[in-house]
């Protein structure tokens, strides 16, 4: 992948994630009994970036998405929540992806749960009480379900959009090239 | 549906279970902490009337609390720092005396014939904890709803 191609691809993914996030905010939350729970559709994009881009570039996608979403529809405190959530879920997804035989469903569910963990950590720091963390089971059970759904969606996207196929192949090629160079 | 399920591998399933486990971790930590540090009370009731409500931390030496009613029924509760025991009673079944020593929150000694109940309770912040979590979360999150 040439440098320009990569830049455009990163920008496209980031902007898609921002738009999906904004559209998702307009959908009334189906989880009326659990304030704070949401679908997390933008996780699809993070998954795809994780599977088609090197780690460094995936991080760029995540950071750009975070900053743009805060600028467009957020405040400093939502930035804190989302930043902690995004950081934790990114690290978790990266780690889980290395495990053998884990499909995108597992990766995206991990991302969803760790996003909630990160948000609640910030919330309990802000509210200065650990008891906020007790809300985790509610959020993360919903998160696991939506994570499975977004994982399936990401899986189908990745395997049915030809262009993404091409990028995925490129990534594996890049890795093999790098191994050869090292040898 | 079957097609979706085929996507998930066994390691996915395992991972999901681990994630569910992780999400209940705060509960484990919270309740372990609370039972270790929470204030405990000895509550003695007779016929639903609270006779004594003693903080367990205030008890320094062994002490006997007699509970007597007009018709000659009596129970003797022995309270000490390391537990509460019904030391004597003139009820006919003596179940209360044989129940032994109680100390942990939630444990009870019941003397059914005399309607005497001894109960160890923890500080009752556990009751409204659910409301607290959600309301504190809404107050934090609701102002700046993401």
Q: Which of A75, A78, A134 lies nearest to residue B26, judging by beta carbons?
A: A134
CB-CB contact of A48 with A160 (8 Å) = no
Nearest CA-CA partner of A122 in A79, A160, A178, A179: A79
B97, part of any domain = yes
Top residue of A92, A131, A141 to mutate, by most chain B CBs within 10 Å, is: A131
What pLDDT score was predicted for residue B146? Answer: 42
Q: Kindly report each contact of residues A93-102 with a partner whose C-beta sits within 8 Å and lies 24 or more positions away, as own/partner.
A: A93/A46, A93/A47, A93/A50, A94/A50, A94/A55, A94/A58, A96/B15, A97/A50, A97/A51, A99/B11, A99/B15, A100/B11, A101/B9, A101/B10, A101/B11, A102/B9, A102/B11, A102/B12, A102/B15
- Same domain as B74, residue B30: no
Q: What is the pLDDT of residues A128-144, one digit of tens each?
A: 777 778 788 888 899 99
Distance from CA of B3 to the nearest CA of A (A): 10
Nearest CA-CA partner of A14 in A139, B40, A22, B121: A22
CATH classification of the domain holding B100: 2.60.320.10
- Same domain as B108, residue B79: yes
Distance from CA of A130 to the nearest CA of B (A): 8
What pLDDT score was predicted for residue A179? Answer: 67
Least confident segment among A17-31, A40-54, A138-152, B30-44: B30-44
Top residue of B12, B31, B38 to mutate, by most chain A CBs within 10 Å, is: B12
Spell out which residues of chain A touch residue B135, defining contact as CB-CB under 8 Å. none
What pLDDT score was predicted for residue B127? Answer: 46
What pLDDT score was predicted for residue A60? Answer: 93
- Same domain as B20, residue B43: no
Asked whether residue A1 carries a pLDDT value surpassing 70, the answer given is no
Domain count, chain B: 2
What pLDDT score was predicted for residue B105? Answer: 75
Structural domain that includes position B79: 39-125
Asked whether residue A147 carries a pLDDT value surpassing 60, the answer given is yes
Answer with the residue of higher pLDDT: B104 or A41: A41
Below-70 pLDDT ranges, chain B: 1, 4, 34-38, 123-146
Look over chain A and give the mean of its residue pLDDT values, rounded to a whole number: 85
Cα gap A106→A66, rounded to integer Å: 23
Q: What is the pLDDT of residues A64-113, one digit of tens each?
A: 999 999 998 878 878 888 899 999 999 999 999 988 888 889 999 999 99
Question: Chain A: residue nearest B23 by CA?
Answer: A137
What pLDDT score was predicted for residue B86? Answer: 87
- Same domain as B22, residue B46: no
Q: Do B7 and A155 touch (CB under 8 A)?
A: yes
B68, part of any domain = yes
What pLDDT score was predicted for residue B34? Answer: 66
What pLDDT score was predicted for residue B142? Answer: 45
Domain ranges of chain A: 3-27+38-182
B146, part of any domain = no
Look up the CATH architecture of domain A3-27+38-182.
Answer: Orthogonal Bundle (1.10)
């Amino acid at each position: 992948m040439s440098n320009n191609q990569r830049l455009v691809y990163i920008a496209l993914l980031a902007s898609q994630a921002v738009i999906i996030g904004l559209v998702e905010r307009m959908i009334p939350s189906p989880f009326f009994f659990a304030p704070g729970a949401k679908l997390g559709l933008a996780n699809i994009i993070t998954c795809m970036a994780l599977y088609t881009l090197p780690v460094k570039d995936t991080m760029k996608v995540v950071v750009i998405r975070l900053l743009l979403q805060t600028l467009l529809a957020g405040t400093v405190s939502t930035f804190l929540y989302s930043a902690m959530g995004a950081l934790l879920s990114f690290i978790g997804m990266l780690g889980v992806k290395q495990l053998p035989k884990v499909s995108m469903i597992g990766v995206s569910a991990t991302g969803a749960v760790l996003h909630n963990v990160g948000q609640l950590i910030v919330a309990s720091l802000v509210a200065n009480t650990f008891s906020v963390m007790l809300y985790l089971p509610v959020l993360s059970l919903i998160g696991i379900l939506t994570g499975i759904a977004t994982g399936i969606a990401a899986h189908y996207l990745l395997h049915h959009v030809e262009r993404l196929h091409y990028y995925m192949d490129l990534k594996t090629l890049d890795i093999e090239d790098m191994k050869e160079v090292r040898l | 549906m079957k097609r979706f399920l085929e996507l998930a591998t066994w390691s996915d399933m395992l991972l999901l279970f681990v994630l569910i486990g992780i999400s209940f971790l705060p509960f484990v930590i919270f309740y372990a902490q609370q039972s270790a540090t929470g204030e405990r009370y000895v509550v003695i009731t007779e016929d639903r009337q609270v006779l004594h409500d003693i903080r367990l931390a205030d008890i320094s030496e062994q002490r006997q609390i007699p509970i007597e009613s007009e018709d000659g029924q009596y129970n003797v509760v022995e309270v000490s720092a390391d537990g509460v025991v019904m030391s004597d009673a003139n009820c006919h079944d003596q179940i209360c005396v044989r129940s032994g020593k109680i100390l942990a929150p939630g444990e009870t000694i019941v003397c059914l014939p005399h309607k005497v109940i001894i109960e160890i309770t923890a500080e009752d912040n556990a009751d409204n904890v659910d409301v607290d979590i959600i309301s504190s979360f809404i107050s934090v999150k609701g102002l700046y709803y993401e």
